[in-house]
Structure 1
């Protein structure tokens, strides 16, 4: 018995509808996973920069692939001590010379990231690599770095510089700490005190 044309059309339509539903579910789950991994702020920033969800998500997935090739490691005790000393010196300098303190803090953060194995030649590459494992904290790096750049142009206020130090404190605490990573979004006591 040969199926009639209507039956064939209904079966093909049902298969197409099922395929569309599966595709929609896959995309929704992928979007939710990327939003969770990179954080809402970074997902939305990437979406705005790329202009389309597919392009933004492809960019985020490419970051994960590049990040997987990095040889990241925690700081050794001597490195941690040296960077912590440098960090405290930058914080103490803030009272007398906020602009220099922010530039020093930016340098210390770059040093910590380099020592941990993050790319060092390009801010964007460092930032994007950081977003893979530290999505919520990475926004502090971008905000602090933007203020440091504004300072080099002479457009940052003292309040801006104070905010940069708060942003950098979050990142430094996260990257230089000993033992297991702090939970995403955890605010250090030093950063809370500067607010």
Structure 2
């Protein structure tokens, strides 16, 4: 093999490697890109894998590969109003019926995510994986409210969700709701501000009547 041909092969190989690296980085596939893209979700998955960062990064890279190209559909104004009204109703319902309110919020988030173009709520794990790619900062709030909504009503006390746990779940789920109900063109600007101000509060103040214990 001639020296010129060898050099040509080496150059082509180098170009392929660089192109692959750039493509991976653009998809958030490099370790630094994954950390930046997933934020707190990155740390959660690493902990789930007992500190094995390579295993965690493989899982996150697979999520990006499966769901990174997903295009979020903007809601029509009337749809946004309906979802906002449902949240308000459920939030008010929490005072008298916290479990029913949490169940409705869980259902509402599943339906809202599906309306935005994410997998249907019946495929919960797939839906959450897709949401984690595009709304990594707040997807864990959805997990929490879903977990609380499915908690048994009877059985041992430690297996039941108390009223305070349900209240916290609703508060933590609100930022994701805000992002999903906001037009995509404005959603990125609100991503780190969601839940600030009155958005994350439930409809009682410190001196108001507290919700009934479940």
Verify same fold: TM over 0.5: yes
Deviation at 1:160, TM superposition (A): 0.8
Which position in structure 1 is the counterpart of 2:129?
128
CA distance in 2, matches of 1:37, 1:153: 40
SS at match of 2:195: coil
Deviation at 1:187, TM superposition (A): 2.3
Larger Rg: 1
Deviations 1:90-110 (A, max 9, x none): 111111101100001111111
CA distance in 2, matches of 1:184, 1:152: 35
Taking structure 2 as the reference length, what is the TM-score of the superposition?
Answer: 0.70
Deviations 1:18-65 (A, max 9, x none): xxxxxxxx99x92222111001x3112222334532221121111111
How many aligned residue pairs are there?
A: 169
Which position in structure 2 is the counterpart of 1:139?
140
Which position in structure 2 is the counterpart of 1:19?
none
**Long gaps (5+) in structure 2:** 1-23, 206-214
- Please identify which structure carries the higher helix content: 1
Taking structure 1 as the reference length, what is the TM-score of the superposition?
Answer: 0.76
**Long gaps (5+) in structure 1:** 1-25
Which position in structure 1 is the counterpart of 2:167?
162
Residue 175 (structure 2) pairs with residue 184 (structure 1)? no
Q: CA RMSD in A?
A: 2.6
CA distance in 2, matches of 1:91, 1:158: 13
Q: Is the 8 A contact 1:74 1:116 kept in 2?
A: yes
SS at match of 1:96: coil
CA distance in 2, matches of 1:56, 1:37: 14
